[in-house]
Amino acid sequence: MAAGWPDKDDHELLALLRDGSHAAFAELVHRHSDRFYRLAYRYMRQREAAEDIVQDAFLKLWTHPDQWQPGHNTRFTTWFYRVVINLCLDVQKKKSPLPLAEEFEVADDTQAAQDDALIERQEHAALEAAIAALPERQYTALNLCFVNDLSNQEAAEVMGLTLKALQSLIMRAKAALKEQLKPVKGEQRYG
């Protein structure tokens, strides 16, 4: 890879990509593939399927670089999140719903006592089921804000919403989740 690529911003790399630069494309992939994978994984719930989505999205960018239109004050990542989400939704529509993963590992498993770990697993299982039942837009809003750690403003841009509309979506999603998780939490933490 040519020296100096990491110093170039996304827009410069995209301009080079339009001219057929594989090095610019490689830099973009190295820079962003993980974040888009995290988002795709939340939709697909399978590693291979999420990887395929990310690959398809990047190959679309490579074969049709004109699809990216700079100059609308839109960041590349904001636009590409939308591309990834649309691909995920397309694939989900074509296929039957994926089963939830059987094992929900807790990120901080080593520190938790065994009982707590079990409770957390149950909580995560219940949470995943509750999230999967959310309407599509609420699901997307939660993923963008809590999986990809986007700010509300960024998430609103990705979804093409106003900030207030996004906040409203998140509030409704949280309310729905709380409602569904009440029995689980009532028994375990608040019982």
Partner 1 sequence: MDDMDSTLELLLRSRKVEPPRPGMAERIIMAAHATPQRVRVPFGVWLQRLCAEFYMPRPAFAFAMLLLIGFITGLGVPVDMDTDENGISQPASLQDFLYPEEDSAL
Name the minimum Å distance from CB 164 to partner 1: 18
Q: Among 43, 58, 68, 76, which residue interacts with partner 1 (rule: CB under 8 A)?
A: 58
Residue type, 29: V
Q: Among 107, 113, 115, 191, which residue interacts with partner 1 (rule: CB under 8 A)?
A: 107
For the stretch 64-70, contacts whose Cβ atoms lie closer than 8 Å and that sit 24 or more positions apart, written own/partner, are 65/14, 65/17, 65/18, 66/18, 68/14, 70/11, 70/14, 70/15
Q: How many CB atoms lie within 10 A of CB 134?
A: 19
Q: Among 15, 82, 104, 117, which residue interacts with partner 1 (rule: CB under 8 A)?
A: 104
The token duo for 66 is 């004109």
64 touches partner 1 (CB under 8 A): yes
Name the minimum Å distance from CB 165 to partner 1: 20
Name the minimum Å distance from CB 131 to partner 1: 8
Nearer to partner 1, 72 or 189 (CB): 189
Name the minimum Å distance from CB 137 to partner 1: 16
Q: Is 125 helix (H, G, I), strand (E, B) or coil?
A: helix
Give the burial string for 62-74 (b: 16+ CB within 10 Å, else e).
Answer: eeebeebeeeeee
191 touches partner 1 (CB under 8 A): no
Tell whether the torsion through CA atoms of 19, 21, 22 and 27 is positive or negative.
negative
Nearer to partner 1, 41 or 79 (CB): 41
Q: What's the CA gap between 11 and 62, in Å, rounded?
A: 14
Tell the residue number behind the tokens 């933490």, with chain if given: 189
Binding-site ranges for partner 1 (CB under 8 A): 18, 20, 22, 25-26, 29-30, 33-34, 37-38, 41-42, 47-48, 50-51, 54-55, 58-59, 62-66, 104-108, 123-124, 127-128, 142, 146-147, 149, 174, 177-178, 181, 185, 189-190
